[in-house]
Chain A
């Protein structure tokens, strides 16, 4: 558990800003105690200071996970957001996409969202904006990147991709081993 380097902090926050915009500061300034980002084996954990103190008594080799894993830095020093970050991203995300029940399964198997599966989309979503994907009953099931603006979506082909798949909750089953 080490503090993120300046560089990596910047990369991390850039990535987070893509999804939750200015709400990033809500992750840092919290009324219920201070929270911080820590890095362990290239993985970034979001953890409260209190818990961090306790976690530091555990040997690094024996520590598996603490707090919430947000994602990992790739070998090329890019940050990849994991599905485990959904707990914090979904409530703060300003741009959302709802999928029809018929398209839920598709998305949960790791496919992009096509126009025909699109239930709703937030107004004024810009292109390449990170969006949270929800079911029609408002259950967050993943996140992705909008490939078109809301306006473009209206006139898109039914088979055109609207949201690029980034992560979905199906990964909890598909790739449990690589989550952390």
Chain B
């Protein structure tokens, strides 16, 4: 029949429990069952009998053993001598545990054999026991057998149970061990133990073995402790290796151990040093060891040792060996992080947000698909980017509708991050010196859907001549890459002083150019962020310090709430105190690539008079190099090849025909007119360089004029463009005003130059034309501006 659905609402369905829903009472145990639990079950008659027998037997065994003991003590030596002869054949195949209590009865054994024809080995064993309790019944006999067998087999459980009831004697056990010649019990401590015989006579053989083993272990431990103490004491007075030891390289383990030792000595030098050894010797040794162990060249290791305390240095080196986790940045132009994470998880990627500090970063732990070729990646939903690369952009804090420059953009990770934060508004200039690498920028920008960008290929140092007035500038300068050794281990061996010098010279020039590109009067910005993936202060703090002296900029907090503060002093350098506002990131403390971020605010567009100070003197040699780079592309090539990440390959510079040099001076000046202040300043500076280097000046003069020629033509182009475009005209006018002011500036510059020249007394002739041209310049300037206004 089944139940019928009642769709009719009028008929009410009965509520409450029906007949079938009646509750069953709780289950109750039967009376009998309950009783059995409490009471001990009564034994049957047979069971009682068996129990009695068992008890009796146990007592007998104990008595027997005591008797054996006494007998043994009385005639110990005799037995022992006999034992060996008799026992050997019998004991064959036995564990030595049994021997002790078999021994004394050897004599009786033959009798027993007559009685029992059983030649079974098992029986022979038991036989000795059975001899004594001859009255025992056959059943009893069986039981004893089993009991004794138990002793033999000796599972641990049995032993412990038994040991509670009985006491065993280690002495007999000891003897047995001697007899059997079992290695396990033949320890040297056996003699000592024999004294304790009397105390624990009734111990089971295995128990005895156990006691012995424990003793042995104790002894071993003691020995080990002693050894360790020895080691420690050795370590305390870490023996400085001899010359021979140093010359004959040992295993890497030894080197590592030595590194550890030396580090511990250096951390507590006064206590742990060897007499007559100086700290220098230890550090030298450490340096050499670190170089061999981590395969660095000595120069770089020396530099690193100056940056880090020894303990931290080892951590850093260790961390530099391990690759950092793969991180991706969500492209906020196309998707949200949560959606992306979900999509990737569906593809079998194991990921997590990179940290609280970033809203777009994800860390990839493992992945079943290639993370750089998923449809999401190709559709531009994310980009593979190290966690440290987020930092400079976060520090830059771009705003919408700003004009922003990324000076060394390839491959476009940071630049696209900027565009994403700007939400594709405003204008983004992504520049890179390497034409090949700009292709990566183009690909990434289009993939990520960045549409507000202009990608160009200039040497960053010339960028102020192209376009200025940016609200924010990001300079992720090319560097030696000492922070990303995990990525590129070749850094360890290939870098030397020259490379670093080349790098920081380039960086200084780039930073000055970046500052010149920035517009201090911007209502929203006027910020420059300088970052490198190097941890060397030469490339970081020193470069920033250099710029602080030469431009109207000041350091501001980066807005990054983690990272360590920048150095204010390093070796003999004393940097500006505000350099502690910069941030350093290390692989061993922050688990991201080594990185440096500094944020500068430009407060005036005026370029202060160049100062010549220690920095210049120190890098004079390097300056020469850079001047040379202005002359020919070859040397630029050399630089760029050495620079790991950013600049590589020659910048494509269109060389103007030689005829430019022959062009009348006035024409050049016209060109310079339209040009902004920096270009001139640059020229002035170059002139100064010229003055400093007497012998080279002739050459340089030549090159300089060529440079001027180039600039002139470039500016001409700009001029013509400006006239074409009315919208830019306003800017042009501004430039003119500035220029008329600058005319005066230049005069001042000329004067100062003069002073310099007097001080240097180097080729006054070379400077004179410049001075005169400056004067001319200002006049022409005025004329030019008049003409323009008319136009």
Interface residues of A (CB under 8 A from B): 46, 48, 50-51, 53-59, 61-69, 83-84, 87, 104, 108, 135, 137, 139-141, 169-170, 172-173, 176-177, 179-180
Which B428-482 residues have a C-beta within 8 angstroms of A? 429, 435, 438-443, 445-447, 449, 451-458, 466-467
Closest 8 CB pairs of A and B: A169-B378, A84-B446, A64-B455, A176-B443, A65-B455, A66-B454, A55-B454, A57-B467
B652 touches A56 (CB 8 A): no
Q: Quick check: is B403 within 8 A (CB to CB) of the other chain?
A: yes
B375 touches A104 (CB 8 A): yes
Residues of chain B with a CB closer than 8 A to A176's CB: 439-440, 443
Interface residues of B (CB under 8 A from A): 343, 372-373, 375-376, 378-381, 403, 427, 429, 435, 438-443, 445-447, 449, 451-458, 466-467, 652, 654, 714, 717-718, 721, 725, 727-728
Residue of A nearest to B428 (CB): A51
B466 touches A177 (CB 8 A): no
A59 touches B717 (CB 8 A): yes
* Set B438, B455, B654: member contacting A66, Cβ < 8 A: B455
Query: A62-B457, A62-B466, A64-B435 given. 8 additional CB < 8 A pairs?
Result: A53-B727, A57-B466, A67-B451, A69-B446, A83-B446, A135-B375, A141-B378, A169-B375
A138 shortest CB reach to chain B, Å: 10
* Set A56, A84, A140, A180: member contacting B379, Cβ < 8 A: A140
B616 shortest CB reach to chain A, Å: 31
A87 touches B721 (CB 8 A): no
Residues of chain B with a CB closer than 8 A to A56's CB: 721, 725
* Set B378, B439, B454, B456: member contacting A108, Cβ < 8 A: B378
Residues of chain A with a CB closer than 8 A to B435's CB: 64
B456 touches A63 (CB 8 A): yes
A61 to B466, CA, bound (A): 13
Residues of chain B with a CB closer than 8 A to A55's CB: 454
B438 shortest CB reach to chain A, Å: 5
A179 touches B654 (CB 8 A): no
Residues of chain B with a CB closer than 8 A to A108's CB: 375, 378
Residues of chain B with a CB closer than 8 A to A83's CB: 446
A130 to B443, CA, bound (A): 24
A64 to B457, CA, bound (A): 7
A63 to B456, CA, bound (A): 4
19 A/B residue pairs, CB under 8 Å, sorted by A = A51-B427, A53-B725, A53-B728, A54-B454, A55-B454, A57-B721, A58-B466, A61-B652, A62-B456, A64-B439, A64-B455, A67-B454, A68-B451, A137-B343, A139-B379, A140-B379, A169-B447, A173-B373, A180-B439
A176 to B728, CA, bound (A): 35
* Set B381, B438, B440, B452: member contacting A51, Cβ < 8 A: B452
A170 to B718, CA, bound (A): 40
Residue of A nearest to B462 (CB): A62
Whether A172 contacts B378 in the complex (CB less than 8 A), given A54-B467, A63-B456, A68-B451, comes out as yes
Residues of chain B with a CB closer than 8 A to A87's CB: 446, 449, 451
* Set A58, A66, A137, A172: member contacting B443, Cβ < 8 A: A172
